[in-house]
Amino acid sequence: METEEVTYSAVVNKICGKANGDETTTELKLSYVPKSVEPKRPIYIFDDDDVMCYMDMNEDHFEVLHVEVNLERVASGLYEQQGMGMQTVSWSELTLRYIHAYGQKQREKLAAADLRGTAEDSYKLVYCYMHMLEKMNPGFNSMRKVIIVDATSIKNVYGGVLIVASAQDPDHHHYPIAFGVVDSENNASWTWFFSKLKSVIPDCTELVFCSDRHQSLIMSISTVYPLSHHGYCIYHLSQNVKLSCKNVNRDVVATTFMQVAKAYTESEFEKLYADFSKRFTAADTYLDNHVGQHKWARCFYPGARYNIDTTNTVESINGVFRFLRAYALLPMIDAIVAKLAEWFNKYRKISIETPIEQKLVPFVEKLLHDRCSDAKLLPVTELNNYFHEYSVIGVDGSSYV
């Protein structure tokens, strides 16, 4: 069906066209009797606003549109000449389907297109837009060299997938560094995304990726970034691990696994993992058969992941943009850029207000301050004065060097 604008003149033209009449010489009077209104009386349509009211009445059920025609002025074989006067005819078959198609949802779509443009327009302008965006983007530096990657579905008419790559600054703030729109999560799409990312973030041995275990994603990182390290999100992995177990509380399995994965030392890990394997043998078998410990255990990971062992950073960004994913392409990107500008401006002001004498970022400063009172109470034994080695008994009774 054509998406023409529904106005009073458009309705008149439609009626006259069906009746083989000339709208310039045919006099029409349009009316309808709402079924939900008492007492019953006709409501006449004289202008565009009246047409829109009639369309609203047809959101839930059809209201018959009556057309009064001045027969003396109708030059058409459809009507039989009966002299002067007005005749009321039911024109429901002619007009109702035409008008009903432009109900509330259609008007909302047309209004959205007027405000943000159509999906087709967005794709036509995407190359010009990306050129200007690249020209104005200062790039990525001074972040922790850990990139969290995830993808989420796009809800507009063309669908697709929005890929997000994010980093974290030393103060634990999110730092989105790349967005990509692709048709689906497949080898070609992920390889394209990482190839574009590599043009601004080169491959190196210090670089770390954190993601779920999508096979196309894993393959693409190993192909495009062969020098980097790739670790798995322990939350996603915990959900797979718990499903391998039966006749146990699966949530306890997932929580215990994440505690094991976060162990800082090998000795701590071995103790926790031995207990975990004994309690949940099916989970231990699953891990042995599907994923190596160096991909999820903090103490065995070859790269520096810092505190980043899940994709929660990107998941939270996707949550912020959940409504934007229904927009056409360029309005969606515009809204994302606007939100990023808001975040950057907020934390730029905070960084300017930080005293120059403060050597640590606020997050670390507060962490050390909170732990200082507890640390003063821990027993410390000097082991080597030359290398400044000490043995500290922690609150758990364990000795740390």
| Secondary structure of 163-180 in HEC code, one letter for each residue | EEEEEECCCCCEEEEEEE
- Domain residue spans of the chain: 8-109, 121-345, 356-400
Report the pLDDT value the prediction gives residue 316, as an integer from 0 to 100: 86
Q: What is the pLDDT of residues 358-401, one digit of tens each?
A: 778 778 888 888 888 788 888 888 888 888 888 888 777 777 77
* Highest mean pLDDT, choosing among 10-24, 64-78, 157-171: 157-171
State the pTM of this model: 0.61
Report the pLDDT value the prediction gives residue 63, as an integer from 0 to 100: 57
Strands across the sheet containing 174-182:
174-182, 161-168, 146-153, 208-211, 229-232
pLDDT > 90? residue 121: no
Which residues, listed in sequence order, are joined to residue 161 by a DSSP beta bridge? Answer: 153, 182
Q: Cα separations (Å) of 207 from 140, 179, 292? A: 13, 19, 20
pLDDT band at 4 (very low <50, low <70, confident <90, very high): very low
Report the pLDDT value the prediction gives residue 210, as an integer from 0 to 100: 94
Scan for tokens 């063309």, then name that residue. Answer: 158
What is the distance between the alpha carbons of residues 243 and 246, in angstroms, rounded to a whole number? 8
Cα dihedral 387, 388, 391, 392 sign: negative
pLDDT band at 76 (very low <50, low <70, confident <90, very high): very low
Report the pLDDT value the prediction gives residue 170, as an integer from 0 to 100: 79
pLDDT band at 235 (very low <50, low <70, confident <90, very high): very high
pLDDT > 90? residue 69: no
- Which parts of 52-94 are beta strand (E)? 65-70, 86-90
pLDDT > 50? residue 35: yes
What type of residue is 187?
A: N
Other C-beta atoms closer than 10 Å to the C-beta of 104 total 12
pLDDT band at 151 (very low <50, low <70, confident <90, very high): very high
Q: What is the DSSP string of 12-56?
A: HHHHHHHTT--TTT--EEEEE--TTSSS---EEE-SHHHHHHHHH
Q: What is the DSSP string of 169-217?
A: -TTS-EEEEEEEEESSSSHHHHHHHHHHHHTTS---TT-EEEE---HHH
Q: Rounded to an integer, what is the distance from CA 32 to the centroid of its chain?
A: 45
Q: What is the pLDDT of residues 214-228, one digit of tens each?
A: 999 999 999 999 999
Q: What is the pLDDT of residues 188-210, one digit of tens each?
A: 999 999 999 998 889 999 999 99
pLDDT band at 124 (very low <50, low <70, confident <90, very high): low
Residues in the chain: 401
Query: Which carries the bigger pLDDT value, residue 48 or residue 306?
Result: 306
Pairing status of strand 146-153 against strand 208-211: parallel
> Percentage of the chain surpassing pLDDT 70?
72
Instruction: Tell me the average pLDDT of the chain.
Output: 77
pLDDT band at 32 (very low <50, low <70, confident <90, very high): confident
Query: How much is the average pLDDT of 238-254?
Result: 92
Quick one: which of 246, 251, 311, 298 has its CA closest to 272? 298
What is the distance between the alpha carbons of residues 240 and 254, in angstroms, rounded to a whole number? 9
What type of residue is 277?
A: S
Q: Cα separations (Å) of 353 from 96, 198, 346, 348, 349? A: 64, 34, 11, 9, 6
